Amino acid sequence: MSKAVVFRAVICGLAGIAALTGCTGDEGSAGPTTTVRDLDKIEVFNPCRGALSDESLRAAGLDPATKSITTDPPTGVSTWRVCNWAPSDDRYGSGERRVAIFSTSHMLDEVYKKESARVLRETTVNSRRGLVSTEKNDPDSCYVSFEAEQGMFEINAAWLSSEGPRVGDLCDMAARYAAALEPYLPR
């Protein structure tokens, strides 16, 4: 047995976390790795309390005066912080709609495991890996999710009313807002 194999076996045995260190019985083969994250300790970016300037929201086509908070605990760590705004113009479509920014410590790959989600396709948001998805029970909404160190961001475009004109594809709108907002969101 080589010194590398013995060393790997000792490290894996002492640490008791073979999945985390990629330990396998084959020399030279690391195998799959898993990252354990304590979601209750990750401080996520807060789009609701001034972390996004009015100028950045306007540049992305959102009206800062229309902010509505969905989830933003006033203190402590939260796995989700969600705010939404009305579009300031019709650059990506028209009709009564809202655009939400979901900031979370959950990971992009978790979207695939979510029973209520229907992943439509993989995408990139500027240079970040992403997904386009919908909720199975909500045809009036579309999400573009993309990676971040904290976990991910999700940009959601949703119709507010079935009355009046609805011009544009929600997934296309979500993708365009995501691309416009991405430069203002932490990596």
| CA-closest candidate to residue 67, choices 36, 93, 100 | 100
Q: Is residue 29 predicted with pLDDT exceeding 90?
A: no
pLDDT band of residue 84 (cuts 50, 70, 90) is very high
Q: Is residue 12 predicted with pLDDT exceeding 80?
A: no
CA angle 113, 118, 124 (to 5 degrees): 85
| CA-closest candidate to residue 58, choices 186, 177, 173, 185 | 177
Q: State the average pLDDT over residues 99-127.
A: 97
**Cβ atoms of residues 30 and 22 within 8 Å:** yes
**Cβ atoms of residues 134 and 143 within 8 Å:** yes
- Of the listed ranges 28-37, 74-83, 113-122, the least confidently predicted one is 28-37
136-155 pLDDT, tens per residue? 999 999 999 999 999 999 99
Q: Return the sign of the alpha-carbon dihedral for residues 155, 147, 180, 85.
A: positive
Q: State the average pLDDT over residues 47-54.
A: 91
Instruction: Indicate the burial class of 163 (C-beta count within 10 angstroms; 0-12, 13-18, 19 or more).
Output: exposed
pLDDT band of residue 182 (cuts 50, 70, 90) is very high
Q: State the average pLDDT over residues 19-24.
A: 32
Q: State the average pLDDT over residues 11-38.
A: 39
User: Which pLDDT belongs to residue 36?
Assistant: 60
Tell me the C-alpha distance between 62 and 100, whole Å: 10
User: Which pLDDT belongs to residue 109?
Assistant: 96
